[in-house]
Amino acid sequence: MPHALPDPALLERLHRDLPDGCVVTEPAVMAGYAHDEAEWAPHALPVAVVRPRTAEEVRRVVRACLDHRAPLVTRGAGTGLSGGANAVEGAVVLSTEAMTAIVRIDPLERLAVVEPGVVNEDLRTACAAHDLWYPPDPASARWSTIGGNVATNAGGLCCVKYGVTRDYVLGLQFGTGTGDLVRVGRRTAKGVAGYDLTGLLVGSEGTLGVITEVTLRLRPSRPPEHTVAGHFASVVDAGRAVAGVAAAGVTPSALELIDRHCLAAVDAWKHMGLSADADVVLLGRTDAPGAAGEAEAEEILRCFEAAGATWAARSTDQQEADALFEARRLAYPALERLGPVLTEDICVPKAAVPEMLGRIHALAARHDILIANIAHAGDGNLHPLLITPPGDEAAKERAQAAFHEIIAEALALGGTVTGEHGVGLLKRAGLRAELGPEALALNRAVKDALDPHGLLNPGKVLDGPGGARS
């Protein structure tokens, strides 16, 4: 892990401008902040880690880095899977872990104002006390933070019906690359004043600003869900069921895919008594109220059976249904225990899900690697998990080749290189292929306008490797 010599004047400035305990320079501690969960994404040891507690302290950090031309990488909980929070040479890592206030929850306006370090699940729990609900629910909801969710425009299990993070962000406060604190967005039900700078910041992966506060739209609590489970002999059959549900006009509150490799890994870890008899399991849910929910559950069941499910049924055991969805959330960390996992995050049109799953299966055979599959199948967001034995460099090279071919196949089917994890370091080539030179030039113009010195998270998304520009 490369490590640049720190600028003594920069460190002195940070210690002077921030309260005691906010600046960390011990290498052993900083190593834990140097990278996220992206396998094989490059990273460097930062020259300092700062843990500000207020927006004003964030502003001071930005200005110190600006004056000393030091790259600034913002980090939430480090649960990202694209290398978007990885430190670069000479960087200061700004961790939002100390900014954990839920400033307020407004039941009348149905909104919440939070700091970026608030954990997603903690916010959802706080909202439930007011009979309100914050829908975006990535599988990492128990650990990931709202700031990181906003930075990557995170989705989750229920986004097939309720949308992704961008759909719930009403406004932001953020530090710019010029060292200013700016508020954008609104707290009214309607508003079209100016460009949508809030939407621009969501999904920008820390390259356009350092988020210090988020205003989020909330929804009323929803009715209990009906769960339908189906076993399938292949991922292609399961993909046909997904397309069938869409063609039937049903919008499930969740439609998740998990294969037997994932189920077996979760059960070996957590001993949940899960069945791994099926090659693939589809989990469908509907939260439509009353008779409409009953009808939707029956239609999902019909679609599963029509697509060739070897077994399908509506769950009458809520504990069992919840265990299956819990297994879906635990799939990635369970597989990670077996060896290095390179995680994909492609999204294709729903009609193309069967074909894309078939192509992934063929690529696994062609490259002689294990690819496990989990997916937010209902909206075409697929997460092939490429697993290699520890220390097997040949398998690692084959996995990386398959990773890039999966991206190419998704683009060929009209898809995108990332549905919710972000571009970070791993998907930059895919982004260039997807956008083309004209759209890339527009993106670079936006980056230069908001971060004229190249200070913020350099080398990610658009830029090549390196530090801040002078």
Q: Which domains does the chain have, with CATH numbers?
A: 8-97 (3.30.43.10), 102-220 (3.30.465.10), 226-412 (3.40.462.10)
* Residue 247, burial from CB neighbour count under 10 angstroms (0-12, 13-18, 19+): exposed
Asked if residues 420 and 81 have their Cβ atoms less than 8 Å apart, the reply is no
Label residue 402 by pLDDT band (50, 70, 90): very high
Partners of 106 in the β-ladder: 111
Q: What is the pLDDT of residues 164-186, one digit of tens each?
A: 999 999 999 999 999 999 999 99
Q: What is the pLDDT of residues 28-59, one digit of tens each?
A: 999 999 999 998 999 999 999 999 999 999 99
Q: What are phi and psi of 75, to 5 degrees?
A: -135, 135
Label residue 267 by pLDDT band (50, 70, 90): confident
* Residue 133, burial from CB neighbour count under 10 angstroms (0-12, 13-18, 19+): middle
- pLDDT on residue 321: 83
Label residue 406 by pLDDT band (50, 70, 90): very high
Distance between CA atoms of 115 and 272, rounded to whole angstroms?
35
Q: What is the average pLDDT value for the chain, to the nearest integer?
A: 94
Beta strands at 254-259 and 219-220: parallel, antiparallel or unpaired: unpaired
Task: Report the pLDDT averaged over residues 391-410.
Answer: 96
Distance between CA atoms of 228 and 313, rounded to whole angstroms?
6
Q: Would the pLDDT of 470 be above 70?
A: no
**Residue 314: which region, alpha, beta or left (left: phi > 0; alpha: psi -120 to 50)?**
beta
Share of the chain above pLDDT 70, in %: 97
Q: Map tokens 């055991």 to a residue.
A: 317
Asked if residues 339 and 389 have their Cβ atoms less than 8 Å apart, the reply is yes
Q: What is the pLDDT of residues 307-344, one digit of tens each?
A: 999 999 998 888 888 888 888 889 988 998 888 899 99
Q: What is the pLDDT of residues 291-305, one digit of tens each?
A: 999 999 999 999 999
Q: What is the pLDDT of residues 137-156, one digit of tens each?
A: 999 999 999 999 999 999 99
Task: Report the pLDDT averaged over residues 209-232.
Answer: 96
SS3 content of the chain, % helix, strand, coil (to 5): 40, 20, 40
Instruction: Estimate the crossing angle of helix 235-247 against helix 353-367, to 10 degrees.
Output: 170
Share of the chain above pLDDT 90, in %: 86
Task: Report the pLDDT averaged over residues 16-27.
Answer: 97
Task: Report the pLDDT averaged over residues 430-455.
Answer: 96
- pLDDT on residue 318: 81
Q: Would the pLDDT of 435 be above 50?
A: yes
- pLDDT on residue 79: 95
Best CA proximity match to 451, nearest among 74, 3, 30? 74
